[in-house]
Amino acid sequence: MLDIQLKGMLEAVAASGAPDLGDLPPPAGREMYRQIFAQGDLPPADVMIEDRSIYALCGAVPLRIYTPRRKNGARGVVLYCHGGGFVLGDLDIYDSTCRTICNDSGCIVVAVDYRLAPEHPFPAAVEDCHAALAWLAAHAGEIGGDPQRLAVCGDSAGGNLAAVLALIARAEGIPLRYQVLIYPVTSAAPGDLPSHTEFGEGYVLSRKAMLAFTRHYFGAAGRAPDWRGAPLLAEDLSGLAPALVMVGSYDVLRDDGEAYANAMSAAGVPTTLIEYKGLSHGFINMAAFLSAGRLALSQVGISLRDALK
């Protein structure tokens, strides 16, 4: 059964006649996305914030660093990759989410402002997030973090990027301790899994929007060419960092998260899969008016606190 608070929200959205993100050009979609998030933000947690850029072969990569105010020695560090279909989202839109995770976990959270498609198609987002993780592995101490206590976290498209980073970390010997994948995209294309059709309309993220996003990111074919775009295509998942995978029972990406969690578990990766009954896509970003969404966001912070202590 659909969560009663979510049901009311979805009915209000349907009655408003708001356009589907899949029908909007990227600039208009980004503005609509910003307006949606502004309605769901929690009051900002009181943490310290620093904006800085790092420089890599891919160019300048903006970061926003969130640090708890209470003193506690070197801290665990979480690299956060935001959602938005690889097309939408930025540091400001996810500011409240990252503040809350920082406050709840007691960890330093570093949000990466990766380049967006279609202006910067695949693999630009992967390159920027990889550069941020490599920088943290080498420079975590400079921001008060412990380079041996690193985690990656992301939602939706950001969950995809976090999963890809875990694969890269294994290959490069980066000591990643944990990965939190929140309703991640893991399949190669919309339509590959049953939930893409079952919940493809009327549950926040539509299949139409997924198709538009994948074409912006991967090109006209709208299909990931390899594991850097679809972690389910990776031939070997053994040796990855322990994982928490979170999905909603009414999410168009439910099967993506479940399939990847099951594949990691089969490969011997310690994996926890949590399915939030009655919730759809985007539930951690609805924490201001969705009680179950706030609980889920708290679970993200608690799991990171425990994994990186």
* CB 140 within 8 Å of CB 146: yes
Q: Which of 26, 50, 236, 186 has its CA nearest to residue 116?
A: 26
pLDDT, residue 118, reads 99
Distance CA(275)–CA(288), nearest Å, equals 20
pLDDT beneath 70: ranges in the chain: none
Share of the chain above pLDDT 70, in %: 100
120 catalytic, yes or no?
no
**Residue 7 token pair:** 């049901």
Task: Count the neighbouring beta carbons within 10 Å of the beta carbon of residue 58.
Answer: 16
Q: Which of 41, 251, 255, 256 is catalytic?
A: 251
Neighbours of 215 (CB within 10 A): 20
Beta strands in the chain (DSSP E): 48-56, 59-67, 75-81, 108-112, 145-155, 176-182, 243-248, 271-276
CA torsion, ordered 232, 238, 241, 243, to nearest 10 deg: 50
Cβ atoms 79, 180 nearer than 8 A: no
Please give the pLDDT value at position 70.
85
Cα→Cα distances 27→21, 33, 119, Å: 11, 10, 11
**Which one from 130, 280, 281, 303 is the annotated catalytic residue?**
281
Residues 117, 128 contacting (CB under 8 angstroms): no
pLDDT at res. 42: 82
Per-residue pLDDT tens digits for 79-121: 999 999 999 999 999 999 999 999 999 999 999 999 999 999 9
pTM, whole model, 2 decimals? Answer: 0.97
pLDDT at 36: 86
At 126 the pLDDT is: 99
130 catalytic per annotation: no
Domains, the chain, ranges and CATH? Answer: 4-307 (3.40.50.1820)
Do residues 258 and 193 lie in contact, with contact meaning Cβ atoms separated by under 8 Å? no
Are 82 and 90 in contact, with CB atoms under 8 Å apart?
yes
Task: Give CA separation, 198 vs 167, 248, 266, 278, in Å.
Answer: 30, 13, 26, 14
| Residues 42-87: tens digit of each pLDDT | 888 999 999 999 998 889 999 999 999 987 788 999 999 999 999 9
Residue position matching structure tokens 């990027």: 161
Tell me how far CA of residue 218 lies from CA of 25, 122, 183, 213, in angstroms.
16, 6, 20, 8
Please give the structure tokens belonging to residue 287.
């924490």
DSSP string, 64-85: EEEE-SS--SSEEEEEEE--ST
Among 185, 175, 168, residue whose Cα is nearest residue 77: 175
155 is known as an active-site residue: no
Which one of the listed residues 156, 187, 206, 280 is annotated catalytic? 156
